[in-house]
Each structure stands twice: as structure tokens, then as C-alpha cells.
Amino acid sequence: MAAISLQNIVKRYGHGAKANQVLHGISADIADGEFIVIVGPSGCGKSTLLRMVAGLEEVSEGQISIGGRVVNDVEPADRDIAMVFQNYALYPHMSVFDNMAYGLKIAKVPKAEIEQRVHKAAGILELEPFLQRTPRQLSGGQRQRVAMGRAIVRQPQAFLFDEPLSNLDAKLRAQTRLEIQKLHRELGVTSLFVTHDQVEAMTLAQRMIVMNAGRVEQMGTPEQVYGKPASSFVASFIGSPPMNLLSGQASGASFTIGGQTLALPAAAPRDGALVLGLRPEHCQISADGLWPLAVETVEMLGAERLVHGRLGGALFTVRIDATLVPPQLGQTVKLSAAPAQLHWFDNSTGQRVDA
């Protein structure tokens, strides 16, 4: 187990004027034993970052250290880490046992110890009955567990997960998520987990790194990221359905959007062009509400309903309990929200603005 430290990591492909920079100075400190999720939309550089930690991509600038040792020029196998790939990358011609033992065999671990370690990992992952099968005889979930087993047997300083759940169906994904959590509790190994799925990020992370376009947008616990998004990007990316974002002009306790002036429950942090954010689950439909919402569609999700409509010309979604009577289509309802639930972002930079 070890802490991982990233200092000002830059990645560019190509040279000179034609170089294409995909990571613009990423810094993060990951404590020993922490479970960190790197989340972001596709193409934001999160996988590249993970592959740089793994040693599969060269570092253009900056420094990566694992357990206090700078590993920029260390071969992947010598970094004392293990990686779980998205498509598992199991060796198709080897049995499950051999797949898990291969790294140890190369490291010239004594046979008896290989046996013991593989059986222990197989026990944890409930793979004992399948040790002599080849990967093609296993289901997706079992293959995924073999890939994790291959990582576990190496007893590494850190686990790297590259979207390991995205090839599983929804039910299995939820189940595997719990298993990964349990595994991390038992083994306590520093883990870096890359995903584009914000639900995975929220449920697994002790702390998460939200990335966008090669930059870190926010790093913090799921509560911090959800409760106090650092930018309008984070606000819209984390949470489902995403936060409503309305851009308009603030002036004291009123906000003008699309020619319509809304009264605010509390004054905006500053006057001028701002983006107002409000989560669908943080506003209510009530008779004494301040904002009129023209209802366009209502979605039934089981425990709750999503009411989609327009507020000052912009799309706006409200989540209400399914036990409440839903508004009629075409009806205009009044919305209310607690002052603490309003988020403000700068109109041009997208950065959070606090009072």
C-alpha cells in the first residue's frame, strides 16, 4: 500500500507545433489506502491519466510518484501496481489459474506460494470452481472477477481500474460495485478507479476527481462534489437528472431570464451575468412558490416523477415524490426552493460564485 502523488502532469501527443495536448497540468495527492474515482465525460483524459500512472503512457511533463518513489521512468511491471482493464484482457488460451498466476510466474515466485496466493484470491472472489476453465467458458461477471483476481494475487501497492464495469449489464454492475467496495474494505489497498458513470463515482469514491477537457474541475468527497460543485460543469455532470442551470442577470434578490424576472428567496452573491443552478430534487411544487413552471412532460420513474417544463424559456426539471398528485400537462405550477440549495456560477468561466 502506498500514497500516490501526481504533480503537474502534462500529456501531449506529437511534437512541436503539431503537438496535441490532452492533459494540462494535473495535480493530486492520494493518501495511502484511499479509494479515488476519476470521473469525466469520454475524451476528458481520465484514462490517459490512469495509463500514465500504470506506466503504459509516457509522461510529457510532471512527476508521478508511488509510495514516495518517482516512477516516471519505471517499467509498468516494476511499479508494484496492478491494473484491471475494461475488456479484462485475460489471456484467452490460459486457464483461470494460469491467468492469475502468470505475473507471479514471471516474477519467479515459488510455486507453493503462487498456489497459495491464487487460491486465496479465488476464495475471496468465489472463483474456486472455475480455476481450470478458460476465460471463454466464463460469463462476463466471472471474467471481470478473474481480472480482479489477477490484480489481487500480485499484492500490489495500488490497484488501477480502467472502467472495469462498463462491459457488464446493469444488474451485474450494481452487484460488482458492492463487491469492489467490500474488497477495498478488506484489502485496504490504494485504488484509482476510472469511470464515466457518475453513479459509480458517487457510490464507490472516498474522494473523487472530476475531470473535463484535460483539467481537474474538482476534487473532493462525493458529498462535497454533490453539495458544493466547484463549477457549472461539475454541477451538470454529477447528479441524475443533472442540475438545472439558468443563465441570466442577477440584481439583488431578483433574477432575469428570458425576459422574465424571478424573485429570489435570498439575494444573489453579486449583480450581473450569472448562472443559477438548482437540482431537480431540491425544489418543490407549492402554491406559495415564487417561480412559474409551464409543464411540458411528466416521467414516471417508480418512486418519483420527473416534471419537465420551461422556466423563463429555459428547460427545467423538477423531481417530485410519486405519491404526490402530478401536475397536468400545459398547466403552470409554482416552484419554491430553499436559499441554501441555490448555486451560483460565473457566466463566462463557469466557476462557482459564493456570497
Q: Can you give the binding site for other proteins, defined by CB under 8 A? A: 54-56, 75-78, 81-83, 85-87, 89-93, 102-103, 106-107, 134, 136, 150
CB-CB contact of 74 with 130 (8 Å): no
Q: 193 or 233, CB closer to other proteins?
A: 193
CB-CB contact of 234 with 225 (8 Å): yes
Query: Which residues have a Cβ under 8 Å from the Cβ of 182 and sit 6 or more positions away?
Result: none
Query: Sign of torsion, CA 108 112 113 115?
Result: positive
CB of 82 to other proteins, least distance (A): 7
Q: Give every strand in the sheet of 304-311, ordered side by side.
A: 283-285, 332-337, 291-300, 304-311, 314-321
CB-CB contact of 47 with 54 (8 Å): no
CB of 43 to other proteins, least distance (A): 18
Q: Which residue type occupies 130?
A: F
Distance from C-alpha of 234 to C-alpha of 136, rounded to nearest angstrom: 40
CB of 193 to other proteins, least distance (A): 16
CB of 205 to other proteins, least distance (A): 23
Q: 125 or 320, CB closer to other proteins?
A: 125
Cα angle 319-321-322, degrees, rounded to a multiple of 5: 110
Q: 13 or 91, CB closer to other proteins?
A: 91
Query: H helices then E strands: how many in the chain?
Result: 8, 20
Distance from C-alpha of 12 to C-alpha of 211, rounded to nearest angstrom: 17
Distance from C-alpha of 59 to C-alpha of 56, rounded to nearest angstrom: 10
Query: Which residues have a Cβ under 8 Å from the Cβ of 18 and sit 6 or more positions away?
Result: none
CB of 54 to other proteins, least distance (A): 7
Q: Which three cell numbers stand for residue 51?
A: 495509463
- Indicate the length of the chain as a whole number: 355
CB of 270 to other proteins, least distance (A): 49
Q: 150 or 352, CB closer to other proteins?
A: 150
CB of 56 to other proteins, least distance (A): 5
CB of 50 to other proteins, least distance (A): 12
Q: 90 or 320, CB closer to other proteins?
A: 90
- CB burial readout 101-118, b (16+ within 10 A) else e: bbbbeeeebeeeebeebb
CB of 96 to other proteins, least distance (A): 14
Q: 127 or 216, CB closer to other proteins?
A: 127
Q: Provide the H-helix boundaries in 32-168.
A: 46-54, 96-106, 111-124, 140-152
